[in-house]
Amino acid sequence: MKVKDAVYFIHGQDELIPDSHTYVLGEPGSGDATVIDVGLMGKSEYKLSSIERLGFDLKEIRRVLMTHTHIDHIGCLPEILETVPHAELWVHEAEGLPLEQGDERIVYGMEMFRSMCQAQYGIPDGKFKFQVHRKLSDGDALDLGGASWQVIHIPGHSPGSIALYDAERKILIPGDTVYADFAIGRFDLHGASGSQLRQSLTRLAELEVGVLLPGHNSILTNVPSGYIAEVAKQWGPYLR
């Protein structure tokens, strides 16, 4: 689905574990496409075929950029990289180093969840160790798909969660920090923090947002004024 020029949306396919949405920044034929979040294990065929149906050649995928590295967002990255091994991996520095070191707590979030996923999907230890080609920082300006996207570090759901913000078109891609149905991401996993999540929501509430493209559930292409501020207000008492 085309959301805006050079912004495409691929709906996640939830199973027992949710599968994140995937976004593609760029236009078919440009030779420079950025994939935002890839999704759950076993979803690579669906995600890549969806990208092709949008008109892209897979050779155009220059990079995979992660809003964060929980397994429902990064689970099928090993499969994706088998098909597009030329693609770079861009991750916030707070999660890029653990990925390179093979610290999979950043992926699974908790040991119980690691055990469940490894048993259900047959995942060996060390599956989620990657070379990170670019470690992102707060305030980075990225030229993606012919637009300028600002990297905003929004820890709380995970230590390296980021949002991408196109100020000119008022488009926000916030990962799992805030959704379009007054929900927010959980804050009980490895490296998570309720107080940091409250601060991150407050920071996002300062932005002018007309299009909200979260990691799960619905997207909003006509965001009501003050929406994120209202979400932050409703959840504030629980984020300590």
Span 136-187, pLDDT tens digits: 999 999 999 999 999 999 999 999 999 999 999 999 999 999 999 999 999 9
When divided into structural domains, the chain yields a total of 1
Q: What is the pLDDT of residues 52-104, one digit of tens each?
A: 999 999 999 999 999 999 999 999 999 999 999 999 999 999 999 999 999 99
Q: Count Cα neighbours of 23 within 13 Å in the Cβ-side half-sphere.
A: 25
The predicted pLDDT at position 16 comes to 86
**Model confidence, pTM:** 0.98
Q: Residue 127 sits in which domain range?
A: 2-238
Q: What is the pLDDT of residues 207-238, one digit of tens each?
A: 999 999 999 999 999 999 999 999 999 999 99
- Report the CATH number that the domain containing residue 183 is assigned in CATH: 3.60.15.10
The predicted pLDDT at position 61 comes to 98
The first and second tokens of residue 72, run together, are 């429902």
Sign of the alpha-carbon torsion through 134, 139, 144, 149: positive
The predicted pLDDT at position 122 comes to 95
The predicted pLDDT at position 130 comes to 98
Nearest Cα to 20, choosing from 164, 213, 172, 154?
A: 213
